[in-house]
């Protein structure tokens, strides 16, 4: 445990009680040598409620070119039927009051659903940013740990070389 505490102080320049939950979790994973990266899409989708999945589906369909083209075709058919085909007995004559009612109701329902989906997308972006931060932090810690190990190895090698040089110098001095 003192190794982790020393590691925290050395890399974060603050005591363990001042670290946030993310830093503590990343440090624990780094110390255990476990992977911290996850599939963000799967992790976020797993937490979605039925209503959130429906809102995402509606927003995905409602914001597509397929929907726009199909809806334009529906509007064209509606106006053609009510002006040309049913000129004398149109069920929604010009100025298409019933069509306006349908469009208003559709907009009144679709707008909040799309807003819910946009809020969820913003939440997903925050979730993804937090995961990216965790992965980046762990990568930095691993790189720093590797630097520390390499530095210790180099220092050990230098110490051994100095001892060898001192021994050789002593051996040469004794001969001469």
pLDDT band at 14 (very low <50, low <70, confident <90, very high): low
> Of all helices (H) and strands (E), which one includes residue 134?
helix 97-175
Query: Taking 60 as the threshold, does the pLDDT of residue 137 lie above it?
Result: yes
Residues in Cβ contact with 19 at an 8 Å cutoff, skipping those fewer than 6 apart: 8, 12, 27
**Cβ atoms of residues 27 and 8 within 8 Å:** yes
Residue 107: pLDDT over 80: yes
Mean pLDDT of the chain: 86
Q: Residue 40: is its pLDDT beyond 70?
A: yes
Residues recorded for the chain? 176
64-82 as b/e, with b when 16 or more CB fall inside 10 Å?
A: eeeeeeeeeeeeeebeeeb
Token readout for 69 is 């083209």
Q: What is the pTM of this model?
A: 0.64
Residues 17-29: tens digit of each pLDDT: 777 787 777 777 7
CB 16 within 8 A of CB 27: no
Pair 116, 52: CB distance under 8 Å: yes
What is the average pLDDT across 145-163?
93
The string of pLDDT tens digits covering residues 51-63 is 888 888 888 898 8
Q: What is the DSSP string of 56-94?
A: HHHHHHHTSHHHHHHHHHHHHHHHHIIIIITTTT-SS-T
CA distance 14 to 5: 10
The residue among 83, 107, 111, 81 whose CA lies nearest residue 95 is 83
Give the model's confidence band at 102: pLDDT under 50 very low, under 70 low, under 90 confident, else very high: very high
pLDDT above 90 (res 32): no
């Amino acid at each position: 445990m003192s190794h982790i505490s020393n590691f925290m102080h050395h890399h974060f320049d603050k005591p363990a009680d001042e670290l946030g939950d993310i830093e503590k979790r990343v440090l624990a994973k780094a110390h255990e040598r476990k992977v911290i990266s996850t599939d963000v899409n799967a992790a976020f989708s797993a937490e979605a409620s039925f209503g959130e999945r429906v809102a995402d589906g509606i927003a995905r369909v409602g914001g597509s070119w397929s929907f726009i083209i199909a809806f334009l075709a529906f509007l064209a058919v509606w106006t053609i039927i009510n002006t040309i085909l049913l000129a004398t007995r149109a069920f929604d004559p010009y100025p298409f009051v019933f069509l306006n009612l349908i469009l208003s109701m559709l907009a009144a329902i679709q707008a909040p659903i799309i807003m819910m989906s946009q809020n969820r997308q913003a939440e997903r972006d925050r979730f993804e940013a937090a995961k990216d931060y965790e992965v980046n932090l762990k990568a930095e810690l691993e790189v720093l740990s590797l630097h520390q190990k390499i530095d210790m190895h180099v220092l050990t090698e230098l110490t051994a070389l100095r001892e060898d040089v001192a021994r050789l110098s002593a051996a040469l001095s004794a001969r001469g």
